[in-house]
Amino acid sequence: MNFTLDRRGIDDKIYRNYTMKAAKTLPISIPTQCCSLEISGEEAERMVRMFKAVGNPTRFEILKFLLTHPGCITGEIVDFLPIAQATVSQHLKVLREAGWIDGIVQGPATCYCLDEENIGWFREKVGEVF
């Protein structure tokens, strides 16, 4: 009998047959539902956009900076982060479109701050889940 051993010293065919059979014979039970989350449609899409936006480490740093430096302009954020101005602007756009921040144009500059209304909504919805 010929065996084909992988780097762990296991015959692939025997391993696959064993694990496939084991998976088919295990009883599957779904845990009892503990709660429900009444969010769908546009609200669910809004929440996903907000989670995606804050999931990026650079955007998370921008949010932290805006929390401690409300009302700052793009240049101040660029000075804080070790990335190009164009990259900061792109991250600010994503955060603004997701609802995390708001920008007010003041002459040639845009003054950014956290969007308290949207953050309040996000906090409420996350609180319903956790």
38-44 long-range Cβ contacts below 8 angstroms, 24+ apart? 38/128, 39/125, 39/128, 43/125
Res 112 pLDDT > 90: yes
Tell me the pTM.
0.71
* Residue carrying structure tokens 């047959």: 17
Q: What is the pLDDT of residue 107?
A: 87
Domains and CATH numbers, the chain: 41-129 (1.10.10.10)
Mind listing the pLDDT tens digit for each residue in 17-66? 666 655 555 567 888 877 777 778 898 899 999 999 999 999 999 999 99
> What would the DSSP string read from start to end of 12-81?
HHHHHHHHHHHHHHS---PPPP-------HHHHHHHHHHHHHHTSHHHHHHHHHHHHSTTEEHHHHHHHS
